[in-house]
Amino acid sequence: MGRIVGIDLGTTNSLVAFADSQTGQPKCIPGPYGDTLCPSVVSLDPDGSIIVGEPARRRLLTQPERTIYSVKRLMGRGPSDIQSELKLFPFRIDPSSKNVIRVVLGDRIFTPPEISAFILRELKNWAEAFFGEAVDRAVITVPAYFNDAQRQATKDGGKIAGLEVLRLVNEPTAAALAYGLHEKQRGRVAVYDLGGGTFDISVLKLISTSDGDIYQVLSTNGDTHLGGDDIDNLLQAFVHDLILQQDEIDFSPHGELAQELRKTLISLKHQLSKAETATLRFPLPNGSVYTREFTRGEFEALIRPIVDRTIVPLKQALADAQLRPADVEEVVLVGGTTRTPLVRRTVQEFFDRKPHTELNPDEVVALGAAVQANILDRGVNNMLLLDVTPLSLGIETYGGAVAKIIPRNSTIPASAQELYTTGVDNQTGIDIHVLQGERELAKDCRSLARFTLKVPPAPAGLQRIEVRFLIDANGILQVAAKNLRSGEGHSIEVQPSYGINDSEIERMLEESIEYAEQDFAERQLIEARTESESILTATAKALVNPQVAGLSAGENTKIAASVAALQEAAAGSDYKLIRKRIDELNQATEHLAELLMNSAVSTALEGRKLAEV
Amino acid sequence: MNTAPTSTNPPLVCWNCHERTLGTHFCSGCGKLQQIPQSFDYFALFEMPKKLWIEMDGLEKKFLQLSWKLHPDNFVNATEMERELSLKRSSELNDAYRTLRDPVGRVEYLLGIEGERKEGEKKQQAPPELLEEVFELNESLDELREARESGGDLTALRESLEAARNSFQEKLTEVDSQLQSAAREWDIALAGDAATRKKIMARLNELLNRRSYIRNLVTNVQKELV
């Protein structure tokens, strides 16, 4: 078995972390650029290879039509769900998309789990390079308020990336785990997690028992479409209008100019978190530079409606936990957007308590995931996490109403049994529609699955089938049925309303191995560099040998040029070029190798390479 | 009347070592997690008598203890059978805790396992003594909707609806306290004769139906007022 890691698959950035086997302390793993943050951006290169992270983020500006960001917003959603987002995001959705969105990148079509899998695979590579060992299992975090389909899509992404997903952990809960380890906190804790695309609020009770520490989630709430992205979109629309008024330049939200503006505004937003004023300078296609000074006050007035949207879920979570703000003993801030002073102030005022910000808000979720991964790997010994389901589970009843069978904030795993019987003679099927949500009508809730219980023909009411709905520790629904008359298990085929089926996942896994070409390229690069190092060392050594006198001036020049060319290639990342330069140097030093061989052995060995001598 | 699980249940055979086992959760022989015995109810799971007054701290303590043992986190590297059993057992534990923690859910559950929970043929029918008030309330609701459509003045209607809601809210509180006293009677009668217990259960059932009716009413009025 390979190593296990914790992964924060974020809207804007993703991270991978592990727990030290000795101390249990979690640590984030840096990527090839030394940074622990991997931008959640994926780009399809014209040569067909997949580029992930920082290099992909740069392509947002040069190849926006081949590059995608914030794919987390599309996970587990159908085309009709995201119409409003499409206006603001440069996502190109394949028109043939039915239940699952299909995104167009260049000339290829991918589902959101596949795109997430590219990010997960990249992080897997980071970790493998770090450990020098295979990584095959992971704990992946999801927003606490993710529904069943969004969770399933995340799990599918892990599978496609070649990872066994041991558990999906809710992001605020993971953060609480990391903080608990860090601060040894006790009592009631509220975790306010405002990230790039999602908002979660979780209320936990930290209990010390004789068995160990228990992290019990009392309630959770949130909005899976509220985050820093919304602030960026708002700023972008605002500034776009200003530019339009002044310079009458309109640009489509999908183009390179829009991406450039977005990038500039994100940096403006970051500046305004630190300074009271910041100046926007944006070069326009007509040669002029749009310049405007922003004050923090102006910025805050603009984004206040977004920050205020977190208050309703906050109040609901407290009400569900039967607590008042003053009952909460500790408040923890998580997610990059909580760096915004207005967010911090809003939370502090709400709880009348200074929130914790000691741990890096970008890293804390990944650290918590690593803690949970360690627990799962080594067995529960001194820490146990009890999480809840964020949304009520219901089934459709007569007249399109919903009967709730598992209330929201139930500790998971949770289950409910329902008894079904036939209403008319010789009825052969009973249709069941499972939903998630708090509304009373089926049409206002999230459809999870529909299935038909097949029953042998019999007089009405004779056949009785017990259906067991179970929400597992990942927050994912499982359904099992039993015919009470025959006592036999009842096979059911549940068709998820928004999701991909197992055979599709298999196919995607196979395809992703095709894309693993990129991993191959990385390995090739490492090997080529190692080889170039050894041949350069051997050449340097050979050149101080007295046998060098046997070389012609032309040969000497050629060797020097080849050495320089290889050094230059090895500094780059093109393994094919490095290989070519290695071959060239080998050729250039062929005679030198012969001379050295001759001095050592009496037999000349043609075609020997210098490094082998 | 305490349902001590190991003494009242028939001897069980472990699915793994096929030996008779006395353990409630784990086989006393091989230590593997066991199926929950058929005869187990939520009270037995928590090793409690079927009393309706439950000491919350004790319930929570027991819940946390059992969570340590049964949670799927303990079985990630175990066999498929054990993983499934843990999922089933821990979901049952959570369901049990959720039910027993809720004073009303607890009564419903008790009546359910005793076979005395009867929701009534006509769930939506008003209890006779409330008929008049419910009739008035429905009229006011209709008037409010009409006034809203025609753009009329809503202030007076809202006030009368709020008064009605408050009156039903009071009735709800009253039912809850009646439920509480019936629950106390049940706890005392637990050691007594079957006929008395049956009578109390009928009373509890009637109160539950009444409570559910009034609660729906309050919710509906609330929705119109928002």
Per residue in A217-237, pLDDT tens? Answer: 999 999 988 999 899 989 988
Q: Does the beta-carbon distance from B91 to A470 stay under 8 Å?
A: yes
Mean pLDDT calculated for residue range A446-457: 86
Distance of residue A487 Cα from the nearest chain B Cα, in angstroms? 14
Chain A residues lying within 8 Å of B98, measured CB to CB: 407, 410-411, 414
pLDDT at A516: 58
Mean local confidence (pLDDT), B39-48: 88
* Nearest residue in chain A measured CA to CA from B72: A473
Chain B interface with A: residues with Cβ < 8 Å: 61, 64-65, 67-68, 71-74, 76-77, 87-88, 90-92, 94-95, 97-98
- Among residues A122, A193, A230, A396, which one is catalytic? A193
Residue A502, pLDDT above cutoff 90: no
Amino acid of residue A7: I
Q: What's the token pair of residue A313?
A: 């879920």
Comparing CB atoms, the residue among B65, B73, B98 nearest residue A380 is B73
State the pLDDT confidence band at A561, using cuts at 50, 70 and 90: very high
Task: Please report, rounded to a whole number, the percentage of residues in chain A having pLDDT higher than 70.
Answer: 93
CA distances A274 to A195, A304, A475, Å, are: 18, 18, 38
Percent of chain A with pLDDT over 90: 47
Q: What is the mean pLDDT of residues A571-578?
A: 86
Residues B25-49, mean pLDDT to the nearest whole number: 84
| Closest residue to B91, CB basis, from A375, A385, A413 | A413
Interface A:B, Cβ pairs < 8 A: 69
Active site residue A171: yes
Residue B117 DSSP label: -
Interface probe for A, chosen from B76, B88, B108, B224 (most Cβ of A below 10 Å), is: B76
Separation CA A421–CA A427 (nearest Å)? 10
Predicted pLDDT of residue B95: 94
Across-strand partners of A420?
Answer: A465
Closest-approach residue (CA) in chain B for A474? B72
Residue with the bigger pLDDT between A598 and A190: it is A190
Distance from CA of B192 to the nearest CA of A (A): 32
Does residue A470 carry a pLDDT above 70?
A: yes
Q: Which of B42, B57, B62, B67 to mutate to test the interface with A (most CBs of A within 10 A)?
A: B67
**Secondary element (H or E) of residue A3:** strand A3-9
A430 in Cβ contact with A467 (< 8 Å): no
Mutation site, B66, B73, B100, interface A, largest A CB count within 10 A = B73
pLDDT, tens only, A530-550: 778 888 988 888 888 888 888
Q: Compare A612 and A485 and report the one with higher pLDDT.
A: A485
Nearest to A379 among B65, B67, B74 (CB): B74
pLDDT-derived band at B190, boundaries 50, 70, 90:
confident
Q: What is the pLDDT of residue B121?
A: 54
Q: Please provide the average confidence, as pLDDT, over all residues in chain B.
A: 84
> What pLDDT does A47 receive?
84
Dihedral pair phi/psi, residue B214, rounded to 5°: -65, -35
State the pLDDT confidence band at A602, using cuts at 50, 70 and 90. very low
* Nearest-by-CA chain A residue for B68: A384
Chain B residues with CB under 8 Å of A385 CB are 73
Which residues of chain A are at the B interface, by a Cβ-Cβ cutoff of 8 Å? 166-167, 207, 209, 211-212, 214, 216, 375-377, 379-380, 384-386, 407, 410-416, 470-473
The answer to whether A113 and A37 are in contact (CB under 8 A) is no
User: Are A214 and B64 in contact (CB < 8 Å)?
Assistant: yes
Compute the radius of gyration of chain A from its Cα atoms. 29
pLDDT tier, A450 (very low <50, low <70, confident <90, very high otherwise): confident
Q: What band does A16 get if pLDDT is binned at 50, 70 and 90?
A: very high
Q: Which two tokens stand for residue A174?
A: 């993971």
Q: How high is the pLDDT of residue B120?
A: 64
Determine phi and psi for A163, rounding to 5 degrees.
-115, 140
pLDDT score of B6: 43
Are B76 and A377 an interchain contact pair (Cβ–Cβ within 8 Å)?
A: yes
**Is A455 within 8 Å of A430 (Cβ atoms)?**
yes
Distance between B119 CA and the closest CA of chain A, angstroms: 15
Contacts of B94 in chain A (CB under 8 A): 410-414
Specify the higher pLDDT residue, B219 or A103.
Answer: A103
Contact A410 B92 (CB under 8 A): no
Chain B: closest CA distance from residue A311 (Å): 19
> Looking at residue B91, what is its pLDDT?
94
**pLDDT above 60 for A327:** yes
Instruction: Give the minimum alpha-carbon distance from A540 to chain B in angstroms, rounded to a whole number.
Output: 53
pLDDT band at B3 (very low <50, low <70, confident <90, very high): very low
- Segment A283-303 shows an average pLDDT of 90
CB contact under 8 A, B71 and A384: yes
Q: With a cut of 90, say whether residue A205 has pLDDT above it.
A: yes
pLDDT tens-digit series, residues B92-132: 999 999 999 999 999 999 998 988 888 765 556 677 777 77
B74 and A415: CB-CB below 8 Å?
A: no
pLDDT, mean of residues A232-261? 80
Candidate from A16-20, A77-81, A307-311, B60-64 with smallest mean pLDDT: A77-81
**Is position A72 annotated as part of the catalytic site?**
yes
Q: Give the other-Cβ count within 10 Å of B146's Cβ.
A: 11
More confident of the two residues A606 and A239: A239
CB contact under 8 A, B72 and A473: yes
Query: Are the CB atoms for A442 and A396 separated by under 8 Å?
Result: yes
Q: Which of A211, A384, A414 sits opposite B73 (nearest CB)?
A: A384
Could you confirm whether A8 is annotated as catalytic? yes
Q: Which among A86-90, A297-301, A379-383, A609-613 has the top mean pLDDT?
A: A297-301
CB contact under 8 A, A375 and B73: yes
pLDDT at A141 over 90: yes
Element (H, E) at A479: strand A477-483
Rounded to the nearest integer, the mean pLDDT of chain A is: 87
Tell me which chain B residues have a C-beta less than 8 angstroms from the C-beta of A168: none
Structure tokens at A432: 């069941």
With an 8 Å Cβ cutoff, are B87 and A472 in contact? yes
pLDDT tens digit sequence for A124-135: 999 998 888 889
Query: In A, which residues are within 8 Å of B87 by CB distance?
Result: 413, 470, 472-473
Closest in A214, A376, A413 to B76, CB measured: A376
The model's pLDDT over B191-210, given as tens digits with 9 standing for 90+, comes to 888 899 999 999 999 899 88
Which residues on neighbouring strands pair with residue A482, listed in sequence order? Answer: A466, A489
Compute the nearest-CA separation of A363 from chain B (Å). 24
Quote the CA–CA distance of B217 and B169 in Å, as a whole number: 9
For residue B2, pLDDT over 60 is answered with no
pLDDT at residue B1 greater than cutoff 60:
no
pTM, rounded to two decimals? 0.81
Which range among A43-47, A450-454, A469-473, B10-14 shows the weakest confidence by mean pLDDT? B10-14
Q: Mean of the pLDDT values across residues A389-413?
A: 91
Q: Give the ipTM of the model, two decimals please.
A: 0.85
Q: Which residues of B touch A388 (CB under 8 A)?
A: none
pLDDT confidence band for B4 (50 / 70 / 90):
very low
Best of B74, B94, B104, B109 to disrupt the A interface (most A CBs within 10 Å) is B94
C-alpha closest to that of A92 among A258, A255, A260: A255
Q: Which of A156, A171, A200, A230 is catalytic?
A: A171
A221 contacts: CB under 8 Å, gap ≥ 6 = A145, A200, A201, A313, A314, A316, A317, A320, A390
- At A518 the pLDDT is 54
Question: A81 is written with which tokens?
Answer: 């769900």
Chain A residues with CB inside 8 Å of B88's CB?
415, 470
Under the banding of pLDDT at 50, 70 and 90, the label for residue A613 is low
Arithmetic mean of pLDDT, A556-560: 91
Q: Which helix (H) or strand (E) holds A384?
A: strand A383-386
**What is the per-residue pLDDT across A145-192, written as a single tens digit (0 to 9) for each?**
999 999 999 999 999 999 999 999 999 999 999 988 666 667 899 999
Active site residue A193: yes
pLDDT band at B14 (very low <50, low <70, confident <90, very high): confident
Is residue A332 pLDDT above 60, yes or no? yes
How distant, in Å, are the alpha carbons of A126, A215, A365, A397 from that of A360?
20, 21, 9, 47
Nearest Cβ partner for A166 among B74, B76, B90: B76
